[in-house]
Amino acid sequence: MKVLITGAAGFIGSHMAERLQREGFNVVGLDNFSDYYEVSLKDLNKAALEQQGIKTVKMDLRNSEDFEKLELDFDFIIHFAAQPGISASSTFEEYLSNNFTGTQNLMEFAHRNKRLKHFFNISTSSVYGLEATHPENAAPQPASFYGVTKLAAEQLVLAQSRTKKMNASSLRLYSVYGPRERPEKLYTKLITCAFREKSFPLFQGSEKHLRSFTYVGDIVEGIFKAVQKHHEINGEIINLGTEDEYTTQEGIDLVQELLGIEIDLELVPKRAGDQWHTRANINKAKKLLDYQPSTTLKEGLQLQINWYKSNFL
């Protein structure tokens, strides 16, 4: 079967592409190679995919004419591409165009694929708001442009399921880390600062934030199970993450322990819209997908450190 993955040269999308290729799927990736972070890092991911026979097409979902580059024979679409995270340098227009308009264009393309079995929207715990500890039926309360536009995109997709125009689901991910994590994210930035002997900018008060830090391999496993059980989860919203929670400070301490390096922490003003508590409620994922994340934070961070050493030292 053939699957289209948007954001395939990014962090989680590249891992998902590799997993599906190993399982015998014919994978085509899309990415706009945005300069939100260094394009060379996406090029590195693209090269890794190409070595495994996975094609990555450069295109922007916001440009509807770009879809003419694609065939109309996909069985599944997995939509990772988005303007990511909470960033003072990103405007509302960038979040809106990338996360909402891009999704709408992709939906229109999806309708033209007559053999499409399922559309998977990749969402985020940020739709819950500052405290993301809820089951999927809780009322969303996003507190950032990112969360607001990701929720809007999710509803855009699920509307297709409600009106029986397309089978679709949305998977809400929690604090994903691991090899290929974006450079501005917590653990890659910590590891980089440690090896380059630079100060790590710590948002004021964030050392007490609680997170469901989830290893990328466990997230990929959950999405793969969703693909396998697609006929059972039409219209569903499903949380994917770990029930284990750590403070940011505990994560910092663990990185220092694994590296044997003390990292200088520089306090900077707190970030607006930053979640103070996430704990993945995965009862639904356990029931519907038999989802059982198993990678400890220490194990996952060691794998991330090994990846960083192999590629940047």
Task: For residue range 42-101, list pLDDT tens digits in order.
Answer: 999 999 999 999 999 999 999 999 999 899 999 999 999 999 877 767 899 999 999 999
Domain boundaries, the chain: 2-174+215-241
User: Residue 223 has what pLDDT?
Assistant: 98
- Residue 7: band (very low, low, confident or very high) from pLDDT cuts 50, 70, 90: very high
* Whole-number percent of the chain with pLDDT over 70: 99
Contact 132, 125 (CB under 8 A): yes
User: Residue 148 has what pLDDT?
Assistant: 97
Residues 163-189 have a mean pLDDT of 97
User: Residue 1 has what pLDDT?
Assistant: 95
- DSSP β-ladder status, 237-240 and 168-173: parallel
φ, ψ of residue 246 in degrees (nearest 5): -135, 150
Q: Say how far apart CA 14 and CA 23 lie, in whole Å.
A: 14
Our answer to whether residue 146 is catalytic in this structure is: yes
- DSSP β-ladder status, 210-211 and 246-247: antiparallel
Does the pTM of the predicted model rise above 0.85? yes
The label of the residue with tokens 């520089």 reads 266
**Strands of the 237-240 sheet, one edge to the other:** 55-58, 26-31, 2-6, 76-79, 118-124, 168-173, 237-240
User: Residue 94 has what pLDDT?
Assistant: 95
Please determine, for residue 274, whether its predicted confidence score (pLDDT) is greater than 80. Answer: no
- Residue 157: band (very low, low, confident or very high) from pLDDT cuts 50, 70, 90: very high
Strand partners, 169: 120
* Residue 173, both tokens: 């991910």
Over 220-242, what HEC string results?
HHHHHHHHHCHHHCCCCEEEECC
Nearest to 34 by CA among 182, 153, 215, 201: 182
* Whole-number percent of the chain with pLDDT over 90: 90
269 or 215: whose pLDDT is higher? 215
Nearest to 100 by CA among 138, 141, 147, 169: 147
Please determine, for residue 253, whether its predicted confidence score (pLDDT) is greater than 90. Answer: yes
Please determine, for residue 181, whether its predicted confidence score (pLDDT) is greater than 90. Answer: yes
User: Residue 115 has what pLDDT?
Assistant: 96
Residues 271-300 have a mean pLDDT of 93
User: Residue 293 has what pLDDT?
Assistant: 98
Contact 3, 77 (CB under 8 A): yes
Q: What is the pLDDT of residues 133-154, one digit of tens each?
A: 999 999 999 999 999 999 999 9
| Catalytic residue from among 36, 95, 128, 146 | 146
User: Residue 220 has what pLDDT?
Assistant: 98
User: Residue 113 has what pLDDT?
Assistant: 97
The label of the residue with tokens 């996430």 reads 278
Q: What is the pLDDT of residues 190-235, one digit of tens each?
A: 999 999 999 999 988 888 999 999 999 999 999 999 999 999 999 9
User: Residue 305 has what pLDDT?
Assistant: 98
**Proportion of the chain in helix, strand, coil states, percent, rounded to 5:** 45, 20, 40
Tell me which amino acid residue 97 is: S
Looking from the CA of 205 toward its CB, the CA atoms found within 13 Å total: 9
**How many residues can be counted in the chain?**
313
Q: What's the mean pLDDT when you consider all of the chain?
A: 95
Q: Say how far apart CA 43 and CA 10 lie, in whole Å.
A: 9
Pick the CATH number of 2-174+215-241 from 2.30.130.10, 3.40.50.720, 3.30.830.10, 3.30.70.270: 3.40.50.720
